[in-house]
Amino acid sequence: MNPLKQFVVKPLLPLELFGVDITLTNSALFMILSVLMGVLFVWGCTWRRRIIPSAMQSLVESLYLFVQKTAETTIGSHYKPFMPFMFSVFIFVFMGNALGLVPYGFTFTSQLIPVGAFALLGTVVATICGIHQAGFGWLRTFLPKGIPAPLAPIIIPIEMISFLSKPFSLTVRLMMNMIVGHVLLKILAGFVVDLGFFGVFPLFFACVLIAFEFGIAFLQAYVYTVLTGIYLSEAVNQH
């Protein structure tokens, strides 16, 4: 079986609104599930908040403090307004990564459009915050101080390409990590079926790899959040 077949986007429910095709696909379904599960997880663990937290409340608070520390480290003292966005990024990406490991699940974080759209959203947020922070003087980002004016036609395009490549690098990094891990899992699963009794050996390695992939799911969500914070920092900490 083709190990890349698991990444094919399939229509599930044909829908049309005012002549616009809004068909529900497996990718869209798991994006919705990722949002719902993230909201239910946070709400379910904190709706009965206590001074002495329960185990689940402690888990959510620890995750929040973890992301808060990441935001503070990457963005600096101006991190607080970005905490809802940063925490949402972390939860959404982690849930998307983890849901892809569930049997019959779909890893939408292996797709260009959803991951690219989220990365582009981060770039737009960074741009808006940068302009809000420094006014249209923020555009000096593309022509750093001290650069001679005659070099502007060369430096400005280079800086713009560098700025616009950030969402692309975020997208490709996450996509490739998710694709490679899931392809390896699919290959090992094929060995389990084909080898019969001896399939117990690849089954063991597949179980170990699934546990490893859950760790990768968390790590990639963290890396994605860190890079988002770095890009926001570059926008709001202009000198």
Residues 130-153: tens digit of each pLDDT: 787 777 777 777 877 777 878 888
Q: What is the mean pLDDT of the chain?
A: 83
H runs (alpha helix) in the chain: 26-46, 55-75, 83-99, 112-134, 152-194, 200-236
As a whole number of angstroms, the distance between CA 94 and CA 112 comes to 17
For 206, residues 6+ apart whose C-beta sits below 8 A from its C-beta are: 185, 188, 189, 192
Q: Concatenated DSSP letters for 109-175?
A: GGSHHHHHHHHHHHHHHHHHHHHHHHGGGGGGGGS-TT--GGGHHHHHHHHHHHHHHHHHHHHHHHH
Contacts of residue 79, Cβ cutoff 8 Å, sequence gap at least 6: 68, 71, 72, 86, 229
Q: How far apart are CA 66 and CA 46, in angstroms?
A: 17
User: In which band, very low, low, confident or very high, does the pLDDT at 119 lie, cut at 50, 70 and 90?
Assistant: confident
Mean pLDDT, rounded, for 190-198: 64
> pLDDT confidence of 192, banded at 50, 70, 90?
low
Mean pLDDT confidence for 211-227? 86
pLDDT, tens digit, 9 for 90 and up, residues 56-104:
889 899 999 999 999 999 888 888 888 998 999 899 999 998 888 887 8
**18: which 2 tokens?**
């005012």
| Residue 224 CB neighbours (<10 A) | 26
Give residue 149's identity as a one-letter amino acid code.
A
Return the closest-CA partner of residue 112 out of 202, 32, 49, 172: 172
Query: Up-side HSE of residue 68: CA atoms within 13 Å toward CB?
Result: 7
What is the torsional sign of CA 92, 97, 102, 108? positive
CA 87 to chain centre: 11
Report the pLDDT averaged over residues 107-117.
87
Flag the least confident range among 31-40, 67-76, 102-111, 186-195: 186-195
